[in-house]
Amino acid sequence: MTIYNKRKIPAYDKNKYQPGFFMQRVREQVEDIFGEQLTGGTGITIAVLDTGIGRHPDLFGKILCFRDFLEKRNLMYDNNGHGTHVCGILCGSGKLSRGKYRGMAPGARLVVGKVLDEKGDGSAEHMMLGLDWILSVREKYGIRILNISVGIGNLEENRKEKALQEKINLVWDSGILVVCAAGNKGPANGSISSVGGSGRVVAVGCHDGNFQKENPGRCETYSGRGVEGADVRKPDLVAPGTDIVSCNVNCIQLYDHIRNAYVAKSGTSMATPIVSGAAALALQKYPFMSNEECRKKLQYTAQDLGIPWNQQGWGMVNVKRLLE
């Protein structure tokens, strides 16, 4: 049984865009007026459950702890690349790009659990183990945010789906802000990830504003939708997710030069760490804010895009409003 929603995403065309445009574009869209600060997110620990994390120079010194729930390896690794890319969006230093591809909260630190394999597949059991681990080390590492860039579809057994949701609720009740992907199964009504529909997570969908409106493969065309008229309106909000350039786990070092340091990926998996990073900035500025208060502040300061609620939630995350 797999829990990671996979979808064929258009490949990055390196000749189509100017280097450095992508995170600049994201920051413009979410009005990140503090985008030049290297200390954003300092003092905030973000937990990540994904495919792991690789030894990328932009992530050196940021990993507090790593745990492998699949092969029980002691040293950190990522044999898929998805988790490394997500971590780069969260808090990559942008060192190899002279800051061009710096993450949202470069001062934050990471606790990473590997729950997905080389294909991006995983089981409810591995996710449950990862969530239990997060709860066990929450106080030790001061975890404030859990990023789950995993589109968890409807599981075959209702019992397992309910157990997973209950465990995520426990993480939320412990004081951790849980931010998860809406999934890439849209655009049908009710296509949001099963966990994303929970009232105790911040579910993040994809939207790129006016960026690449002519591109049929842009992320909002397949972002998971909530259920129209539901008591809990989902997703909570949206963020850019098309062609996001971040750390490439397969970078190659040749003498003193590193090639293929970055790669572009698209999907709600990329939109999710943009919101998690924004939340880290808010929690740094307002350290006594609870996870529920942070969620409301993310919602109430979002920019309404004028599209249906089951597609955008409260709207596009807006960092300027969030931090004012």
198 catalytic per annotation: no
Residue keyed to tokens 């259920």 = 227
Give the pLDDT mean for 1-25: 49
Q: Which of 50, 58, 78, 236 is catalytic?
A: 50
> Does any domain span residue 14?
no
Q: How far apart are CA 283 and CA 143, in angstroms?
A: 11
Q: Which of 213, 185, 209, 215 is nearest to 197 (CA)?
A: 185
Residue 124 pLDDT more than 80? Answer: yes
Closest Cα partner for 275 from 221, 207, 211, 218?
Answer: 207
Domain annotation covers residue 120: yes
Residue 5 has pLDDT above 70, yes or no: no
In a domain, 16, yes or no: no
Query: Long-range contacts for 318-324 (Cβ within 8 Å, ≥24 apart)?
Result: 318/30, 318/31, 319/27, 319/30, 319/31, 319/32, 319/33, 319/34, 319/278, 319/281, 320/31, 320/32, 320/33, 321/31, 322/278, 322/281, 322/282, 322/297, 322/298, 323/33, 323/34, 323/281, 323/282, 323/285
Residues 120-127, mean pLDDT to the nearest whole number? 91
What's the pLDDT tens digit per position in 173-215? 999 999 999 999 999 999 998 888 888 999 999 999 877 677 7
Which of 148, 184, 174 has its CA nearest to residue 275?
Answer: 148
Q: DSSP 3-state assignment of 206?
A: strand
pLDDT on residue 154: 57
Q: Which of the residues 56, 82, 85, 207 is marked catalytic?
A: 82
The one catalytic residue in 93, 266, 269, 276 is 269
The DSSP bridge pattern shows strands 63-68 and 177-181 to be unpaired
pTM of the model: 0.92
231 is catalytic: no
Domain at 304, CATH number: 3.40.50.200
Number of structural domains, the chain?
Answer: 1
Query: What are 177's two structure tokens?
Result: 């802000």
The answer to whether residue 53 sits within a structural domain is yes
CA distance 82 to 110: 15
Q: Measured on CA atoms in the order 10, 225, 240, 284, is the torsion positive or negative?
A: negative
Intra-chain end-to-end CA distance of the chain, in Å = 44
Q: Does the residue 10 lie in any domain?
A: no
Please report whether residue 11 resides in a domain: no
- Is 15 inside a domain boundary? no
Domain that holds residue 235: 21-323
**Residue 208 falls in the annotated catalytic set:** no
Task: Tell me, yes or no, whether 183 lies in a domain.
Answer: yes
Confidence at residue 39, expressed as pLDDT on a 0 to 100 scale: 84
**What is the predicted pLDDT for the residue at 296?**
97
Residue whose tokens read 């230093």: 93
235-293 confidence digits (pLDDT tens): 999 999 999 999 999 987 655 677 889 999 999 999 999 999 999 999 999 999 999 99
Name the region of 279 (left: φ>0; alpha: ψ -120 to 50; beta: rest).
Answer: alpha
Task: Classify residue 141 as exposed, middle or buried by CB count within 10 Å of its CB (0-12, 13-18, 19+).
Answer: middle
How confident is the model over 105-114, as a mean pLDDT? 97
What pLDDT sits at residue 4? 47
> What mean pLDDT comes out for the span 41-55?
97
